[in-house]
Structure 1
């Protein structure tokens, strides 16, 4: 439901009927909107840390029951940048503890 396909992944690669069969009466749009708000916030934080959207980004989605889901998608360079940022954050936490 996210509509983002910038990374060119095979859309059928991870098809699981429990994640794509829509149930009658479930408000998937509300779950997606909630996930989108969180994904936008995470993307803003990633950008503030110097991570380019083409490398790593948060994508809004929903689960089988319409609950909000945020996925991280990226290329190797983006994941390496995230690893650097997490290592830095862990180091700073130890310094403050």
Structure 2
């Protein structure tokens, strides 16, 4: 389904479905920002309250986690948007 980290392939390698007709773009990104931010903020606050580590420990923990969750969930969300557009036969509007 993907040819790169986040780029959709032009067609499905198994069935030949044209992914070009789906407009997923960056639609999933704003929702993931809220989800990932909530997870990281709650985890960092709990860590600070229970362990009180120095600031650099927070940097070592939360920066990689934020990047990893964002990239991992973005692939999942883009795939979900393609599946939803296919299932609901959504497409560009016509006049």
TM-score range, shorter chain: 0.3 to 0.5
The structure richer in helix per residue is 2
Q: Which has the higher contact order (CA 8 A, sep 6+)?
A: 2
- With normalisation by structure 2, the TM-score equals 0.39
The structure richer in strand per residue is 1
Structure whose alpha-carbon radius of gyration is higher: 2
- With normalisation by structure 1, the TM-score equals 0.39
